[in-house]
C-alpha cells in the first residue's frame, strides 16, 4: 500500500512502522521506500506525538521521496504508467490474435512494437 501511496500522492509524507524485534530495523537496502519515510520503532512510540507534529510542520523528505518514486515508477506522472501498461498489453493481445489468425508464430515481440501498435490504433 505504501508504494501505491507514493505513486498517487508523491507530495504526501510517509510513516512506516518498523516491527522488527531486538537488534533488527528497517534498512533502505532491503526496503528502498524506507529512505524516504519516517520510520517509527517500538522504542520510539512514546515520542510519536512529537514526531507527527514535526512531520506536519515540515517535510524534509520531499527530495528523497521524489527520487524513490522515480526509482520505482520512472518519470511518469500519476496515471501515465497505467496507460502505458494498458497500451503494451493491448498491443501484445493484438499480436497474439494476429498470430492465432495467421498460424504464424513469432519468436518475440518488442515492447516498442506493442507501444507503436497501441498508438496507431488510438490514432484511428
| 36-94: pLDDT as tens digits | 888 888 888 888 899 889 988 998 888 998 998 888 888 888 888 888 889 999 999 99
User: Dihedral through CA 92, CA 98, CA 102, CA 104, nearest 10?
Assistant: -20
pLDDT in the model for residue 122: 47
pLDDT of 100 higher than 70 = yes
CA 56/CA 90 separation, integer angstroms: 43
Structural domain total, the chain: 2
What does the DSSP 8-state code read for residue 12?
S
Query: Are 66 and 89 part of one and the same domain?
Result: no
Question: For a pLDDT cut of 70, what percent of the chain falls above it?
Answer: 75
pLDDT in the model for residue 21: 53
Query: Are 24 and 65 part of one and the same domain?
Result: yes
pLDDT of 28 higher than 80 = no
pLDDT in the model for residue 86: 93
User: Dihedral through CA 35, CA 37, CA 43, CA 44, nearest 10?
Assistant: 140
Query: Are 13 and 67 part of one and the same domain?
Result: yes
Range of the domain at 31: 2-73
Confidence of residue 23 (pLDDT cuts 50, 70, 90): low
Query: Are 33 and 62 part of one and the same domain?
Result: yes
Mean residue pLDDT of the chain comes to 78
Amino acid at each position: 500500500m505504501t508504494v501505491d501511496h507514493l505513486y498517487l500522492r508523491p507530495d504526501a509524507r510517509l510513516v512506516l512502522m518498523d516491527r522488527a524485534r531486538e537488534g533488527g530495523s528497517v534498512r533502505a537496502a532491503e526496503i528502498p521506500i524506507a529512505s524516504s519515510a519516517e520510520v517509527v520503532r517500538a522504542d520510539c512510540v512514546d515520542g510519536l506525538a512529537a514526531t507527527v507534529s514535526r512531520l506536519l510542520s515540515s517535510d524534509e523528505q520531499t527530495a528523497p521521496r521524489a527520487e524513490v518514486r522515480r526509482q520505482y515508477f520512472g518519470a511518469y506522472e500519476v496515471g501515465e504508467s497505467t496507460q502505458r501498461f494498458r497500451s503494451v498489453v493491448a498491443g501484445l493481445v493484438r499480436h497474439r490474435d494476429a498470430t492465432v489468425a495467421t498460424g504464424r508464430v513469432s519468436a518475440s515481440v518488442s515492447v516498442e512494437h506493442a507501444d507503436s501498435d497501441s498508438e496507431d490504433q488510438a490514432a484511428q
